[in-house]
Homo-oligomer: A and B are copies of this chain.
């Protein structure tokens, strides 16, 4: 197993991805290729001790920033770290790639360079949400706007495989995000998707509503990428607002500061359960090999969690599970939907 790590992307590059890789070499024993500027990487690696056979370097002096137009940048910047890593993945020089850089560039590289699993119409970004019933998966969290029902059904198949393998859930509950629970509720897309999902090879529990999302009533929450992006960012934004409000309350006076001491343990535990760093990155499900997006502001803990996640993804062969379940759907019917 070999994991390719784009060490040039993300707010804390290259220190964080390199430190996380060193930690993974020491603790997980996985082989990794650090993709980025060789001089910078070598200088950074000098700080650490690690089994040297576990870490190699692939030179890629260029970076694609968040401000560049992804499709154009991926086509033109042949020596950008994310492009080099994607080409290595395509050419069999690795089993997974991880990047904390531009989401758009990674999605484009995954789609255009790594390519799709045979039969997958569109790969989808899958994000883990910290719900009241533990980590649950939102697919698609933003890769595809303007989906067709056939896409949503495949998002369900991919999410189902992921939650089975990565979170050991036996028969994941797959829900379709809609504006009402009843079968008749929804917009054109969700109404048509509902009809096909009823016969899909996963445990379809029907429509779920917005309030079910953070309650965690489904293990896999399927929606198009437009909705998924809005939901994800609404949840992140609200988390941020509430966290600030709570901080303000505790900081208000000597009295409230004393109160904070009494409940500090519980608040920290709560914060931990809401912490994206615990859950690794967001996979672009449906690519021939794992393309994993780490949070841009990842610290070493989050980046390490993502490497570990990639290892489990490969170990448990999520893609094989996806391929097998794809065969169970009526391809003709689905592709026309």
Contact = CB atoms under 8 A, between A and B. Distances in A.
Contact of A226 (B179, B213, B238): B179
Residue of A178, A231, A234, A244 with most chain B CB atoms under a 10 A cut-off: A234
A210 B237 contact: yes
Interface stretch (A49-57, A245-253, A315-323, A324-332): A245-253
Interface residues of A, number: 57
B235 A234 contact: yes
Interface string A246-271: 10111010011011111100110110
What's the number of copies of this chain in the assembled complex?
2
Contacts of A38: none
A259 B249 contact: no
A146 interface: yes
B131 A241 contact: yes
B263 A234 contact: no
Nearest to A254: B262
Contact of A145 (B179, B226, B238, B249): B179
A14 interface: no
A188 B226 CA distance: 10
Contacts of A239: 238
Contacts of A270: 245-246, 249
13 contacts: A145-B186, A146-B187, A179-B229, A190-B226, A210-B235, A211-B236, A213-B234, A214-B234, A215-B240, A249-B266, A258-B262, A259-B260, A260-B262
Interface of A: 131-132, 142, 145-146, 177-180, 186-188, 190, 209-215, 224-227, 229-242, 244-246, 248-250, 252, 255-256, 258-263, 266-267, 269-270
